[in-house]
Structure 1
């Protein structure tokens, strides 16, 4: 079938060298050589480890294998097992700290690495070499075989992360651990935990109890986020929750066992409405009626990136009590998270309340600065000194570049890649996480199918992401991450739906060699993982099977252009108010639509069977999306 030009270009834009292996591993290993034969896992198979520090990895593997196989597999120290986990006695420089090798034959499987992290990633690949039934939640029937292979694998980037927002909607520690477990299996090593925002403060700070007593709860509301009513006078705030410090320690330890570093985010000086609701004196206006936002509209947006806040949600940079507050917060945060980074937000900070505040104006005069925007630079430098005193490095969204930051600060580029390029050229370490490729709360396909959100991001677009821009020294690009904002995501089940398969695509981007990128190859592996996810009871989107509908309006003539992300789908459509099937017109080239009221209905088929959602659009809808 002739595909439309925009889809051909989309697929061709990242049609790199394909791996010859038929194995469906995500992320794609660096080198795979498949040979003849199979290793068969039986109830008598022993899993051995040659170093006591590798025992926990061996135990995890046994735990994963025993449920679906029904075997009672055991581990033993030494090198005598049919499956051997080997910590190298002599360092293998080729694979580094997180790499591994796998050699499987008909007689044995040997996973080798320099570190326990490498062994952990090795067993993730080993599990993917087994039949899909290994993902079952109960005993399943299968031939438990592993193909004979030689694999050498190591990551492209050191930072492979996912940000999870638990402020807009609260997720239990059990949900968080389950999500971390899923990410670790895709070889992600960083979990960016967005713990505070206008909609909730989620971490216990013992020296400031109101942060969770007040800031962790909001009034109950239903409906679309951004359309909800503000609290009524006297209305009880009953929705929310927070993590005790014991909860935090438990989740941190769980993540560490899976080689995942947790980076906490305390979002300041903007996005601080929940903190101000607890302690109104931290703001410029000190309004005692400040509330935790239940999902009401917070700002007027002007379309060019500028906005005006309707409610005060910024800390007062001229008040020394704010820095005393921050010192208390970060003293306790620093003791809970052993990694070197603390994310401090810094994004979307509205300066209007500062401009009207006498204390801020006096501070500007004292500092001899003319622009209120420069107060954020002052605030961030004060905050960085607080973090340094606790042995931590400041990490923030790309707005922290405004007003100046120290060379040691690390920048997370979210407003496209421009901020990351600027930061790297200034010598800052950068994590690339642009909206255009990595925002997991965006719709994944046809906007009329999924619940509405303000933008879209297809899995093929995520897969096409290249974190190192042209002209930038790669040594400053630590890696990248995907961001899961949860305004419209109230449950873990739906978080999974929005994550996958895009999280799988980004796993390839951050781990696998750039030269191995090939969309058709990834698509095959992705579909194999759909079947694994079904057995694992993990949710995911099937938007990749849906048609892509584009229109053009020229000289009052409306033209229709259809395409698909997958190359082997057929598209059928109707405009005569009938339901399309495989006997309807089959799309092959641009269609000039007739004048007058019409309803377009589109569906995709594969091998004679329907596979995508039915898309229904009236003429007015088609005209709205037309490119002129």
Structure 2
């Protein structure tokens, strides 16, 4: 009975699949292989994948690689594709290794006819990449994690020859500032494989957290993996050695090498919190809960420090079969070494003229340890100081100069300059995008990067191994936000690495990305969609308002003006709005797949000029009352009973810019601000709350206030207006308010630049 019911169910599924309406989606039209292959010759017609299609493999090694792809195809198409060792008459995918035809070990050829497909690679890597291209020739739904019945599994007739331009095609991921779960790392590895990237640079240790289990030193994870955030909660997480092995194996199946990074001699506070005896001062320490660089580093004068690091390296190299081992080597303050008797004695004994040469000594000792393990050392470009052994490679991050110097002296280099390769930068307007560390790098800018500087000619140019996208996670608080920063810019860098300079074309890349977005949807990747930019969230006018929107790259925008939520079918934005009545604009970007960005809501409000107040004031600056204590939200001030009041001439800033991070406080400032003329003003501030004329104008309560993201406009008459500022000197999201201090900026409508409110504008 059960068998009969099961057979009927299968038959119904087949009938439904056959009868489902199959309409080619706009994003599936044309060829969208990314990165763009070396050569594509398109023919007429298609090869149709069906239940009888089989793979043909000449060896067990090829069969193992095919299995990964066959499993994916079964999930989305429902086809159980067998692997056989002899060619049938037709309807097969023949996969062969041919070492004589292809010189590059990652090269492949892919030929599709109406009757069969042939994939030829010089090695198993070439086979793997040929199969990835085959998947990209299929509709994007092939990446679905569930059965898809409404598409035809057609592959266009093509003849492709392909090989990568560079052999190092990398993604860096910092898991120390914010931990990334194993399953989310696997998502990144899946994306890397899809776009033919082959190096995963895993940043495992930092001042803010130690993330890898070391069995000989258990306190590294018991203590060093945890920090107490400024908000008061404990943050932690680390990878067991078994989890590391799991990730390395998962990556290896996808032709990706995992390169570990163990930071030294700086960025070591998490380790020193667990084992303070390897510092210059002996501690005690706390795992750093703010971003930035920590002055406490490994002591270069103690032999025990090197024994400690050698023990760690012994365990780490056993977990990672990669050719390279990353030692960091960047941003190492020398202040502790300057006052450490042991470090100074080391310098004298070794004949080192300064602390920079002491760092070089430190790095070169570790390099010898790595060479003994058969590893090549790689580090950030600071390791160039003092000279390097021939085997060492350099990652050039402070611009391209370090890479040029390294290549000139015969060292291999990976080019990772911030202007193009730092994926922690904003990719849109900082006022509408989630808070970031700073910088501004659009998708087109990442795509435009040329890894070989003009200064490097012929033999020197060959030392450029490639480039990688760097993902520093200070302001990436969740795995979803990491994805939002990384994608699609890492795909642009994937094409930079793979595709020849002559074959690159951003317009064509943007077209192909319409298809790739859908593939990422199938993997639940939270990629960036350009937001409508232009006005702040409240636009004030006195007679009429012109409201205009732009995006960082071409994308359709849809909107409503009646307060309803826009959909992909809503009115398309084509020209600026000219408004004379109160209006609520809701606007979003929409891709060809119908997927939308977050909706922006802009309130457009007609208001009269707010009159100035006729009041006499005697002093410049603002009145202040303050209290010591750790306050995260403005509501926390309700419990304060003891305030200290003062009347001074201090202004904002620099009144509190030197406040101690470890001495949190709250400040309420009040008085008047004098505006120079009648006008509509846009205000920007990093204080928690800004009141004007008794009304809350800007509310940043509880946010990371590194950048102002809640600007607003108001119509003001010339003269004095009552103001109140509430400023909490606290730490939220790793950002200490004390680093910037409170400030108010303004600009008159029609001007581009903001002006800081001056001392003379405040009075009380």
Scaled by the length of structure 1, the TM-score of the pair is 0.82
Confirm whether residue 467 of structure 1 aligns to residue 451 of structure 2: yes
Query: 1:547 touches 1:571 (CA, 8 Å); kept in 2?
Result: no
Asked if 1:480 corresponds to 2:477, the answer is: no
Deviation readout 1:330-378 (Å, 9 max, x if unpaired): 1111111112210000111111111111111222222333322221111
**Secondary structure of 1:619's match?**
strand
**Deviation at residue 616 of structure 1 after TM alignment:** 6.3
* 1:121-520 → structure 2 map (5 Å cutoff): 121-141=129-149, 142-219=151-228, 221=229, 228=230, 239-288=235-284, 290-293=285-288, 295-298=289-292, 309=294, 312-455=295-438, 456-472=440-456, 473-520=460-507
Pairwise CA RMSD: 3.4
Partner of 2:32: 24
Runs of 4+ more than 4 Å apart: 547-550, 559-565, 567-574, 579-585, 599-618, 620-625
Alpha carbons 1:446, 1:546 under 8 Å: kept: no
Distance 1:510 1:112 in 2: 22
Instruction: State the alpha-carbon separation in 2 of the partners of residues 573 and 509 from structure 1.
Output: 39
CA–CA distance in structure 1, aligned partners of residues 558 and 354 of structure 2: 56
Say if 1:90 and 1:483 are closer, same or farther in 2 by CA, change over 3 A: closer
5+ residue gaps, structure 2, are 1-28, 537-545, 604-680, 685-745, 756-764
Cα displacement (A) at 1:112: 1.1
Please report how far the alpha carbon of residue 607 of structure 1 lies from its aligned counterpart in structure 2 after TM superposition.
12
Structure 1: how far apart are the matches of 2:119 and 2:591?
39
1:76-91 equivalences under 5 Å are 76-80=84-88, 82-91=91-100
Q: Distance in 2 between matches of 1:139 and 1:583?
A: 33
Quote the Cα distance in structure 2 between the aligned partners of 1:496 and 1:430.
27
CA offsets 1:560-610 (integer angstroms, 9 cap, x no match): 998644457689999xxxx9997999369xx9xxxxxxx999968789999
Q: Distance in 2 between matches of 1:249 and 1:534?
A: 28
Secondary structure at the residue paired with 1:160?
strand
Contact 1:217 1:240 in 2 (8 A): yes
Give yes or no for contact 2:141–2:519 (8 Å, CA) kept in 1: yes
- Work out the CA distance in 2 between the residues paired with 1:487 and 1:254: 26
Contact 1:573 1:585 in 2 (8 A): no
1:16 alignment counterpart = none
8 A Cα contact 2:209 2:227, kept in partner: yes
Distance, in Å, in 2 between the alignment partners of 1:625 and 1:170 is 39
Q: Which has the higher contact order (CA 8 A, sep 6+)?
A: 1
Against the structure 1 CA distance between its residues 217 and 566, is the aligned structure 2 distance closer, same or farther, given a 3 Å change threshold?
Answer: closer
Structure 1 window deviating more from structure 2 (32-41 vs 366-375): it is 366-375
Aligned to 1:97: 105
Q: Deviations over 1:379-412 (max 9, x none)?
A: 1111111111111111000111123222321000
Stretches of structure 1 that go unaligned for 5 or more consecutive residues are 1-20, 222-227, 232-236, 300-308, 551-558, 592-598
Question: How far 1:435 moved relative to its partner?
Answer: 1.0
Secondary structure at the residue paired with 2:425?
coil
Partners of 1:411 and 1:278 in 2: CA distance: 30
Decide whether the 8 Å contact of 1:603 with 1:610 is kept in 2: no
Equivalent-residue separation in structure 2 for 1:115 and 1:583 (angstroms): 50
* Residues 1:351 and 1:421: Cα distance change in structure 2 (over 3 Å): same
Task: Tell me, in whole angstroms, the C-alpha distance in 1 between the residues paired with 2:572 and 2:252.
Answer: 55
Distance 1:625 1:517, change over 3 A: farther
C-alpha distance 90-431 of structure 1, shift in aligned 2 (>3 A): closer
Q: Secondary structure at the match of 2:462?
A: helix
Q: Distance in 1 between matches of 2:382 and 2:571?
A: 51
Q: For residues 22-52 of structure 1, give each alpha carbon's deviation from its aligned partner in whole angstroms, at most 9, with x where no partner exists.
A: 3111111111111001111111111221222
1:421: how far off?
1.2
Separation in 1, partners of 2:487, 2:310:
38
Distance in 2, matches of 1:146 and 1:331, equals 49
**Relative to 1, partners in 2 of residues 1:571 and 1:113: Cα closer, same or farther, differing over 3 Å?**
same
Superposed displacement of residue 201, structure 1: 1.3
Instruction: Work out whether residues 98 and 121 of structure 2, in 8 Å CA contact, stay in contact via their aligned partners in 1.
Output: no
Q: Aligned to 2:437, what secondary structure does the other structure show?
A: coil
CA deviation digits over 1:296-355, x for unaligned, max 9?
Answer: 2555xxxxxxxxx4xx43101111111001110111111111122100001111111111
CA contact (8 A) 1:318 1:363 kept: yes
| CA 1:30–1:548: 2 relative to 1, 3 Å | farther
